[in-house]
Structure 1
Amino acid sequence: MNVKIAVVQDSPVLLDLKKSLEKVRELSLQASEQKPDLIVFPEAFLPGYPRGLSFGTTVGSRSEEGRSLWLRYSNNSIKIPSESTTALGEIAKECDSHMVIGVVEKSESGTLYCSVLYYDNNGELLGNHRKLKPTGTERVIWGEGDGSDLTTYTTPFGKIGGLICWENYMPLARMHVYQSGVDLYIAPTADQRDSWQATMKHIACEGRCYVIGCNQFATKDDYPTDLKEELVGHDHVLCKGGSVIVDPFGNVVAGPLWGESGILYADIDMDLVKKGKMDFDVIGHYDRKDVFELKKIAAEYIFTSS
């Protein structure tokens, strides 16, 4: 089976959910001209990955201005379900494509999570995954997922799933995704380093799956005017991209795309996933269950009292 993939490398209208949703639709419709089976957007695309912003934090203190910025970020984040998730589903249906998109999710309690939403081509929300471990100062603004949503989703062209940014450096998390039978491994990220490309290739070879790495391209011009002062000292290009599609043998089939906005397209042969299992199957003949065992313990809470 041949499958067409579209990977969107762009930036949202940072901290403006309404305008960013409009941009998602515009970019999706542009991608749909090539009739892709799957459209992928970067990590935290709605309402944006706030690279370079401190939210008024230093070790041991937070400022009132920083809390106000976090509130603004929260007010433009997404509840699940909501009108925003419905709108995203309508976009997927209009494009007749499955869609995976990174969002900042606002929980009922108020905590924000870096999440990824999975839609089918009928606009149904298949599920979402919350990032297990925000990296560095991301922990100031995002909470930790509990792992209960680590899974894959069955589509007509194979099982889709994956991890977010530096979750992909967590070997046991990767192994769980492999054990879930992933065929198309999706890795939305904010990592723009050249070394990230090696990670994408390694995962493809390790999991014998296609790997779709998707990042933003962002400049200072993409930020609201009132926040640009905090970016003094940063390069004009804040995120140079690096979106890429890698086959199950570690060969790059599209990208990496550097230094510009754009959409990567690739027609991929899903038979390569099966062929790759002849040499190496991490959950099959290369899995030594008699030596190693992976147990998933998530969202199990035991309350005791004395």
Structure 2
Amino acid sequence: MRITVRVAAVQAEPTWLRLSEGVERVVELIGAAAGEGARLIAFPETFLPGYPWWRWVEANQWNVEYSTRCRENSMVRDGAEMRAITDAARDNGIHVVLGFGERQDRRIYMSQAVIDDSGELLTVRRKAGLNSVERKVFASGTPNLPAVHHTPIGKYGALSGQENQRPLLTRALRADEEQIHIAAWPGSAHGEVAGPDSMTTVSRMYALEVGAFVLAPCVVVGESAWEGTGSYPRPVAGPTGRARIYGPDGEEVVDALEEGEEGLLYADLEIGAQAVDGQQCESGRGTRDRKDRVATRRGSRRLAAGWQAGPDRWALPMSLGTYPGGIAAC
């Protein structure tokens, strides 16, 4: 049986290093997406409290101050802030994939939370493979394989940043016949690091390799990211990146928002049964939400692999959580 699932990818600027305001923003976006009929909303990498682009500023004293603020404004997985977000998912009947800084004691991790439409926290993964700058702020998680979540809206999974191009992780998700994938990105604010073009390329190649729809939410990096830096030199500003939604053939199923524009990118994905020849197929149609207008276009026609109930055989269970996969950390 084929079903149509509306999804939303976030393209927005975080409330940098202000956790309470950030949680309010997340709840607001969840409500906005659900109000447009979305069943799944995907947030960028480390949307709370914001990706540490300030680490590229060559000022040790300033970096120590902001590293402390980053830790203080990161969430714990069982705290009041997470409960506010899970309550919003439950109240709006929507699945949520959220990138956030997870605080545990004096360490913080780059984590992704997966919350179902009943408000249950299914998994929290901690990113293991950090780049040289991320390691200055975050601790590395345990390198467990990611989970594919078997839900009534299909089978979906999520990875952060450069994880989306690591064969061990992508093949694990492919083996579980992932249908919808969230490739979360932090945007780009520095001329010497891989920017929007690489994010687009990796997301498209993931869709082609795995044969899944790919939601690629992305952060907008604006002037507010540098508040408090004073006269310290800032990274070379460049394009911030654009959220995208790809079909399994690597084609965009909906036009992207403008560069630097804040909003939600919507698409209606048709999830169906496995094709006779074993190839994954799908058909997609997408719409985008803007403050002044809505544009639509039709994507290419194929069928996605069918949904099957059952436990995830890739997540490594831990003691927390009631979901068959437990709460996996990576």
Fold equivalence (TM over 0.5) = yes
* Secondary structure, counterpart of 2:267 in structure 1: strand
Specify the alignment match of 1:133 in structure 2.
129
Which residue of 1 is the match for residue 76 of structure 2?
79
Aligned-pair CA distance for 1:277: 6.7
Q: Which amino acid aligns with 2:236?
A: H
Q: In the alignment, what sits opposite 1:60?
A: none
Structure 1 residues 158-181: Cα deviation after superposition (integer angstroms, max 9, x where no partner): 111121110112111111122233
Equivalent residue for 1:66?
63
The letter of the residue matching 1:176 is: A
Task: Tell me the C-alpha RMSD between the 2 structures.
Answer: 2.6
How many Å separate the matches in 1 of 2:276 and 2:260?
32
SS state of the match for residue 143, structure 1?
Answer: coil
In structure 2, C-alpha distance between the alignment counterparts of 1:159 and 1:150, rounded to whole Å:
13
Q: In the superposition, relative to structure 1, how do residues 56 and 211 fare at CA in structure 2: closer, same or farther (>3 Å)?
A: same
* 8 A Cα contact 1:36 1:97, kept in partner: yes
Q: Which residue pairs with 1:292 in the alignment?
A: none
Aligned partner of 1:179 in structure 2 is 175
Q: Distance in 2 between matches of 1:30 and 1:123?
A: 17
Report if aligned partners of 1:7, 1:243 keep a CA contact under 8 Å in 2. Answer: yes
Give the CA deviation at 1:231.
5.2
2:159 to 151, 163, 166: 163
Rounded to whole Å, the distance in 1 between the matches of 2:75 and 2:235 is 31
> What is the percent sequence identity of the aligned residues?
27
Count of residues in Structure 1 that have an aligned counterpart in Structure 2: 276
Q: How does 1:91-110 map to 2 (within 5 A)?
A: 91-108=88-105, 110=106
Matching residue of 1:304: none
Runs of 4+ in 1 over 6 A off after TM superposition: 296-299
1:252 paired residue number: 252
**Residue identity in the other structure for 1:173:** L
1:21 pairs with 2:16: no
The residue identity in structure 1 corresponding to 2:95 is H
1:199-252 C-alpha deviation (Å, 9 max, x unpaired): 2121112111111111111211x23631354454632xx652221111112221
Unaligned runs of 5+ in 1: 58-62, 282-295, 300-306
What TM-score, normalized by structure 1, do the two folds share? 0.82
Q: Is the counterpart of residue 268 in structure 1 residue 265 in structure 2?
A: no
Aligned to 1:116: 112
> What is the TM-score with the length of structure 2 in the denominator?
0.76
Distance in 2 (alpha carbons) for counterparts of 1:277 and 1:81: 45
1:207 maps to 2:210: yes
Gaps of at least 5 residues in structure 2 are 188-194, 282-313, 318-330
Say whether 1:89 aligns with 2:86.
yes
